A and B are shown apart, each in its own frame.
Chain A
């Protein structure tokens, strides 16, 4: 009887405790692609991140590993031609130097720009138009408790009026200076650090064209009462909006097993990535009340 009882007791354990183990997936013949990211902003010189995608289980992972430094990158319009050069900056979060291509000719509002990348005998081309108008923020406030799809949290509340008679896509941006006493300052920062917090979510004006809108954003960096920041609204063109929305939804799908996986759409034939345009509202000063 004891044996029978043991069998009975072991049985539900076997049922419930499934087995999870590391496996080696068969590596498909993955063909690496160029990875391009370039969002043109009026009055700023173009910055283009050029890397390559790698097989999922490839050991290469850092910017230095994946940066493509031997390409010829040209961004041109009817009035200008800008051959981008390799540049770099230090990433204080990853504690590493990161490379990109940078132009010398500031982008002008209302022009059609052509991207041409020559690499390994291949040519990659795309066009974008810098006709994205900025939207102005009406006001910014703060809410201690706010519930939305992402749960209950504090929020920075941005009030603005949608640009009428056109399709618009917005992202939120906050610029702050983090000091050494603050928890979220990068490990490698030796002094005050100018952090940019760009919202992952893309807000579409579908069915609310021209309306007064309010968006609430959960701050990413911890803060204290009296901390100050500059708040912006970024306006994106349609291709960039779709690209960043795909990224956002893929991120959600990746860690939520109840959502379909998201394939990211590129607007550069033959390559992964985006060649698009954006614009920014004027900055609005904001002070955390708590």
Chain B
């Protein structure tokens, strides 16, 4: 391991000594002054390039040359070509102008055309926000998580459950970052919508494998979302009116070209609609989210960002003869960041982050009452450096520290009906405090034109009470370019996870509770091997890939069979531990430009678990094991006013545990003699296949309102066009009168049409 680390440093230092000049600066949106993340800077002649980092900064070492042609490009923007006289270091800020959507050349990716071939990373996908806004909306809301779920290797849970599942990992194994702050539950409306208001988002990147060393703390994926910074030139107001939500975004300069702000808010009026329907008066539901950000450019070398996010859901359903619930959950984050440029080659970002997550669910069905309460508060401080010594190397290193305060509890029992009074005494719940830290170094190396490497090491540590854990996480990705349009890549990563969301196998609500590692609960650990082949066709218009992966997961956590969560119970004692493994193949065919564009993906995968204390110690399929997962996404630009999009999803059903047999029991005394279930295996049944088609039609126009020009659009969406009743869960029972057994399937979402209106002044 030492040799590995020293090699990274030596190679970087040796190559850093070559004679070069440095071209550096920011790539910005000319109209708003916002940083463009992932913009491409490239020299065709030298076949050298780079892309901007999360703050729009780039640095590229180039040989001394008097006449060099550099191309600056970004999706949806007019590329700029600069002829440069490079004899000394040069700072160059580039402002790219947005390009109106053309019916002839819609570029779907944010990167250079062969980025998927040349990138020294595997299993990474960028999701341009522009594309998010084009895809089918549900309830009139375009949603970044819905688009993420359409990517290969990413699966949604069943309708009504929260989270997404990547390469056989549970929902908690996804690190969801909003401006570097962890969002523990990124969902509204039981998973139907995400908490991310697409109007406040600048960039989205999804990593499923081959993780760079700057990321850690989760086993399965990183979803990195950056908020918009706000227009620093002119004021803008945009908003939208939908069937259940309205949203409004205001942005503008505080000091022209120096400081700007953006505030974006969204609220549902679902609760008001429900009040108007007497038959549904027993249902209450509302959610909101608020994004705000200020950025301030102190000097050419120093920028500050202060961002804030808060989202909250409140739901209740009270009916004497049904399942009653009262459910509240939400996240809040605050991030203060300082970008500092030490030199053209050394960039740093220092962040102070605070985030909270709260979930409180009280349910009552028949005589059974259940309450879950989970709260997390994190204070996080981190510093990251990016060092660009020469074209062959981009070295990232940094350190981070997080203080977690976790409050987990639950209670379940038999009480009188219609009582939803709180049973958990929050002040009596013992809080768990834990510290998590890490240091890392990562080097993206161009060994030759054909061979690229991404090598990293990360050292995480975790401490709670008198128990501490540490680990070593080597990360390595190899890229070998076979031809200008094809490459193969391989990756190996080790990850550790110290916070765990314990999944309940039967509850249909997001009742899962976050727990820290402890003396009893060991950290989760994964090893992932991935291999991919990438090939583009027709001058990079068509992008194809096939990736295979194998992932092992140690110290997986589950509840004991028959666990009652009691207020006074130490939840650690209700847990059992096992292992999991997942393997599969992911295929993608994507058309990146033209009037018709979109993609088709297919994932064939297996995910299994084994716990000595569950399922008689035998292997069983993971709750979200789906053998087949097919997705098709299409966007059609009819003309400058109309465009259409559609997505189709087909997936194997989730697994569920049902009794296979029945047995009469006599030794329980007169009253309790009865019929009991015989289970032969956990997750032994599979729900019916899940499939759904969604479509959207959008009409755009320009007009004026009180002499103010504005752009408007009407969006008509239909979710689940043919109203297929996808299984949510099934249950079996024996009729108390006829003694006949029966099975029932519960489905949630039939066809849902919606219309919304969006405007921008």
Contacts and interface: CB of A to CB of B under 8 A. Distances in A.
B743 A37 contact: no
Contacts of B366: 255
B415 interface: yes
Contact of A55 (B414, B508, B662): B662
Contact of B414 (A11, A20, A151): A151
A200 B668 contact: yes
Contacts of A255: 366, 368
Contacts of B279: 13
Given A12-B280, A256-B412, A260-B560, A28 B660 contact: yes
Contact of B562 (A18, A58, A93, A249): A249
B746 A20 contact: yes
B616 A11 contact: no
Nearest to A221: B671
A195 B677 CA distance: 26
B670 A35 contact: no
Interface string A183-220: 00000000000011111100000000000000000001
A262 B670 contact: no
A35 B663 contact: yes
B416 A260 contact: no
Contacts of B415: 151-152
B273 A12 contact: yes
Interface string B272-289: 011011011001000000
Counting chain A CB atoms within 10 Å of each CB, which of B317, B678, B741, B744 scores highest? B678
Contacts of B745: 20-23
Interface stretch (A46-54, A114-122, A131-139, A160-168): A46-54
Nearest to A274: B667
Given A250-B676, A250-B677, A258-B507, A18 B283 contact: no
A100 B666 contact: yes
Interface in B694-729: 725, 728
B753 interface: yes
A22 B746 CA distance: 9
B506 interface: yes
A247 B561 contact: no
A258 B277 CA distance: 30
A259 B669 contact: no
Contact of A197 (B317, B659, B669): B669
Contact of A12 (B274, B507, B565, B676): B274
A55 B665 contact: no
A19 B506 contact: no
Contacts of B662: 53-56, 58, 61
A51 B666 CA distance: 10
A260 B368 contact: no
Nearest to A220: B671
A247 B750 contact: no
A139 to B, nearest CB: 23
Contact of A259 (B283, B564, B659): B564
Interface in B496-511: 504-508, 511
Interface residues of A, number: 75
Interface in A7-33: 7-9, 11-16, 18-26, 28, 30, 32-33
Nearest to A26: B685
Interface string B403-422: 00000000011111000000
A53 to B, nearest CB: 4
B511 A151 contact: no
Contacts of A244: 667-668
Contacts of B670: 93, 195-198
A63 interface: yes
Contacts of B226: none
B131 interface: no
A56 B661 contact: yes
B83 to A, nearest CB: 57
B748 interface: yes
A90 to B, nearest CB: 12
Contacts of A253: 506, 562
Contacts of A226: none
Contacts of A44: none
Interface string B620-649: 000000000000000000000000000000
Contact of B270 (A12, A19, A261): A12
Contacts of B280: 12-13, 16
Nearest to B751: A14
A20 B741 CA distance: 16
Interface string A218-253: 001100000000000000000000001011011111
A203 to B, nearest CB: 15
Given A35-B664, A56-B659, A261-B506, A150 B743 contact: no
Nearest to A19: B747
Contact of B660 (A8, A55, A200, A251): A55
Given A22-B743, A261-B506, A152 B664 contact: no
Contacts of A257: 365, 368, 506-508, 731
Contacts of A98: 666
A25 B685 contact: yes
Contacts of A61: 662, 664, 675, 734, 739
A140 interface: no
A95 to B, nearest CB: 13
A37 B243 CA distance: 60
Nearest to B657: A261
B607 to A, nearest CB: 19
B676 A18 contact: no
Nearest to B667: A37
Contacts of A18: 728, 746-749
Contacts of A260: 504-506, 559-563
A150 B414 contact: yes
Nearest to A27: B660
B659 to A, nearest CB: 5
Interface in B594-640: 615-616
A98 to B, nearest CB: 7
B506 A247 contact: no
B260 interface: no
A245 B750 CA distance: 41
Contacts of A15: 749, 752
A11 B669 contact: no
A39 interface: yes
Given A12-B273, A258-B370, A39 B667 contact: yes
- Give the top 9 A-B pairs by smallest Cβ distance, nearest first: A198-B669, A249-B562, A262-B562, A258-B370, A150-B414, A149-B413, A18-B748, A53-B663, A53-B661
8 contacts: A19-B748, A23-B744, A51-B663, A151-B367, A151-B414, A173-B669, A258-B511, A263-B616
Given A246-B562, A255-B366, 17 more contacts: A8-B273, A12-B244, A12-B277, A19-B747, A19-B748, A20-B744, A25-B685, A25-B730, A30-B660, A61-B662, A66-B664, A151-B367, A197-B669, A199-B669, A253-B506, A260-B561, A264-B679
Interface of A: 7-9, 11-16, 18-26, 28, 30, 32-33, 35, 37, 39, 49, 51, 53-59, 61, 63, 66, 93, 98, 100, 148-152, 173, 195-200, 220-221, 244, 246-247, 249-264, 272, 274
